[in-house]
Structure formats: C-alpha cells, structure tokens
Chains A and B, each alone.
Chain A
Amino acid sequence: MDALPDFRVLNPETLDEALAARAQHPDSKPLGGGTDLVVNIRRGILAPSVLIDMNRVKELHAIKVDENSIEIGASVRLTALAQHSDVIAHYPVLAQAAAHIAGPTHRNMGTVGGNLCLDTRCIYYNQSEWWRAANNHCLKTTGSMCHVAPKSRGVCFATYSGDLAPALLTLQAEIDLAGPNGKRTIPLEHLYIGFARQDVPVTETQGDGKFFLSLRPGEIVVAVRAKNTPGLRSAYDKIRIRRSIEYPVAGVAVALKREGDKLTDLRIAFTGTNPRPVLLAGTAELCGGGIDERVIKGLDALVRDQIMPMKTTFTPGHYRRRVAGVLARRLMTRLYES
C-alpha cells in the first residue's frame, strides 16, 4: 500500500477535550480501531490532517446493560460487546452481530462507533490509488461518474455493510451525537441517509452511497442506546464468501414476538445490500397469524421492493437480494419456532 501522508495524532482523555480538538480541526477524523479509516488513508482515499484518537476518552468505554435497556459507548471494542454475558442473554441479535464482524483480531481493534459509521464499499472505490486512477476515479472519490450505474446522474451506490446497525435497528435504537453545537439524540434509523434516489438532490436527510450519514460537520458518535421489549426473540446471521475477514454478501437481523400461535411483532433489517442499512417497512402487516404462505410471500415482496443490491461487489446484485430474502425467511422461521 501507499505510504501514509503527513498528519497529526491527538490523544484526548475526556469527551470535552475530544470535542474541542474536533472543533479546532474541521478537517480531522475520529480514530477508533483504524481497521476502516487507516486502510482508507493508506489507499489515498482520505487524507485528514489530524486524527483524533478516541481510545483514551474515558466516557466512551462503558457498556451499561440490564434486562430493560442497553447503552454502549462509542469506543467499546467489538470483542467486548460480543462476549458480554448480559448482552448475549438479553440482546442476542446485538451480540451475534458483533461476533459476525470480520475476524477476531479485527474485533479486538474495531469499535462500536467505528462500525456504526463504517464507510460504504464498492469494487470501484476500495482499490489502491493507481488502480482508481487507471480506471477513471469514481463518483465516491474525485470522479464524475458512478461506474456501477453510469446513468445514475451523480448518485453513488456504494454499499453499507456494517453489522451492528441492522441489529440495533431491530431494537429501535437511538444514537447520541455530540458536536460544536451541543449534543443531540436521534433515532439510529435517521443516521443513515443513503437512499440513493435520483429524483431528489442530496440533503441532510436524503443522501446516497457517498453521503450516507446524517452527521453534521464536527459531530462524533458518543453512545448508542436501546430499550428491551419483553418477550422479543432476536438473532443475526450473514452470508459471506469466506467465513472471516470478509464483507457480507448480505447480513440480516430479525426480532419478533410470538404470542400463542400468533406473530405479534416483526422487525427485519438488512446490511450489505443498499447504501444504508434497511429496516424493512411494512412488516407489521405480516403479523397477526402464524408463519404461513401469506407471510412468506409478503416478506418476499417487501424484500423485492426495498432491497436493491447493485454490482458493487464481486457477487451480482440479484444473487445478494436472493440471499438476503432467504436468510430473513430462515431466521424468522427459526425464531418463531424456537
């Protein structure tokens, strides 16, 4: 890989110091484990002048969890989340999603905040600088055309592939953000704006594969929080070409409630398919009865309408959509019958 460009590393120890550093250096990037950011810097995709090492910020390291609610600091390691006994017991979808990320060494390094803000990916983007230059830089870097969808009129289709986001979306999580204008809390679903619509311009609420987070300038992730729902069963699974050190073909989180012979709550979220993690809309209409032909067909229709993988990886889009649908059906059936 290429040599690293010149930059400074700041090592704040409190959240206030980190925010002050971020405000003072608008061009800075927060550094967690470096498994995404450092790779992009080495590929010449990013060249921040300042990196803010978030790993010594004490406030960001706590996992506060019981059977009612969970709050996870942004600098918590993925290994710690995956192995936490209370997370495994009360929020299985979250522990399983954390355990499915990359390989064990990556999970020792990677952080919750970093995984939530994981950069979107594409075969025309995650390449060395000379490769990208030789192939006409794409829209997500400095180019003027999306090579995946040349007629996209300026819309980037790079794929979001973080594993924690779909799990947290099924738990209806909120995320705490802090920036130069203070703190705010938003539903996690509103963090992801990669709708990639060609009929509306990019705004703070409508983005694409390039502008896929609604973070405002200078904002950082502080923590993510969710409440438990009594009786909720949940699980996460994903398919990848290799078992470890690999991005997903598709990842699926499912949470549901069964009362007697009735499905009373159903939440399904996907990753590795669209430029945002997708919490499937319309699943409430599948509830009310058991899992029968109507539910299976209804789920297939929702996946067909909302899950739109493009040719951003080596596996074709139509295959990834089928994998996503099959995984969702399998997980839903398994949880319902468990």
Chain B
Amino acid sequence: MARLLEFTLNGRDRVDAVADNMLLLDFLREKIGLTGTKTGCDGGECGACTVLIDDEPALSCLTLAATIAGKRVDTVESLGHDGQLSAVQRGFHEKLGAQCGYCTPGFVMASAGLLRRNPNPSEAEIIDALGSNICRCTGYVKIIEAVKYAASLNAQGVSP
C-alpha cells in the first residue's frame, strides 16, 4: 500500500507518495536525497538517525513515514542559512565536537531540540538530553562543551 503524505520538511510543505512500510529514515535518504541523517545501528540504539518531529528529537529509523502526516520534520540540513552555520553547528565545529563525524548529525539534532525547548541548559540537562545518542569515538567531553558554547551563541542571537 502507498499513500499521499502531506507534511512539512525543513520548513517547506510538500506532498509525496510513500509506501506504508517505508521508514522515515529511508524516505529522507533514498527518496528525497537528504543524506545528512545517518543510518547507524538501524535499530533505535545509537541516535545517529535523530531528526526533530514537531521540535522533539525522534529516531527516524523507527518512525514510519506513514505516521508523520501534518507534522513538521527538521533534519540537519535545515540548520544554518545563507552560508552561516547555526549555533549548534558552530559549537560542534569550533569546539571540536566531531571526530569521525558519523554520529554528529544525530547529536546536532538532539542538541538543537534541547536548545529549542531549553535555551540555557545546565551540564546535567545536556548530558540527559544526549542520553539517546552514542559516539563510538567517545568524544563526549568535547560534545558537551560544544553544546554549552552553542547555548552561549544562542543567547547572543544565533539561532540554534
């Protein structure tokens, strides 16, 4: 079975034909061609596929595209405009929050979701909010620094 799916992707409304058994992850990567969202463990354990659905972090590898009608989906491609990095992107770039980089889009989206609902998080809140993401380079200290720096940039008016 397939259906016409109306939803908002990275701020733009669109209508697509999708199969009922298509995962949001495969839909984003294979059909739309937005490969920023990564396939990691592919089973809900690592968080590399994290996107925002209605501003809340969600695992696209366990979300069926057929369940997101009418919702807003934001992927890592939605961050940054006109060549300017977003606060979280700048945080990860300048504070060396990325090592091999594979988990980074997931961490970036989980962090962006955190800053959207809590612009000034404590270190404990940052650690809690990133609890669904795994970095196998284990660069967590730098990642937490990156999010703190992103929060300070956000306070200066850079969007998260």
Contact = CB atoms under 8 A, between A and B. Distances in A.
B45 interface: yes
Interface stretch (A35-43, A211-219, A304-312): A35-43
B44 A39 contact: yes
A165 to B, nearest CB: 21
Interface in A87-144: 102-106, 108-109
Contacts of A243: 131
Interface in B59-96: 59, 62-64, 66-67, 69
Given A6-B21, A104-B128, A109 B47 contact: no
Contact of B132 (A1, A42, A51, A104): A104
Chain B contact residues, majority secondary structure: loop
Given A104-B57, A109-B62, A4 B23 contact: yes
A103 B42 contact: no
B115 to A, nearest CB: 14
Contacts of A6: 1, 21
16 contacts: A5-B21, A8-B1, A34-B63, A38-B23, A38-B44, A38-B64, A42-B42, A42-B43, A43-B43, A51-B64, A103-B47, A103-B132, A104-B131, A105-B110, A106-B132, A245-B47
A79 B54 CA distance: 14
Interface of B: 1, 20-23, 42-47, 50, 56-59, 62-64, 66-67, 69, 110, 128-134
A53 B132 contact: no
A106 B20 CA distance: 22
B38 to A, nearest CB: 14
Contacts of A103: 47, 131-133
A51 B42 CA distance: 20
A231 to B, nearest CB: 31
Interface in A73-89: 79
Contact of A39 (B46, B62, B64): B62
Interface in A1-58: 1, 4-9, 11, 31, 33-35, 38-39, 42-43, 51, 53, 55
Contact of B129 (A42, A55, A104): A104
Interface of A: 1, 4-9, 11, 31, 33-35, 38-39, 42-43, 51, 53, 55, 79, 102-106, 108-109, 243-245
B20 A8 contact: yes
B59 A109 contact: yes
Contacts of B132: 102-106, 244-245
Contacts of B56: 79, 108
B64 A9 contact: yes
Given A4-B23, A39-B44, A109 B66 contact: no
Contact of B63 (A5, A79, A109): A109
Contacts of B22: 4
A34 B49 CA distance: 15
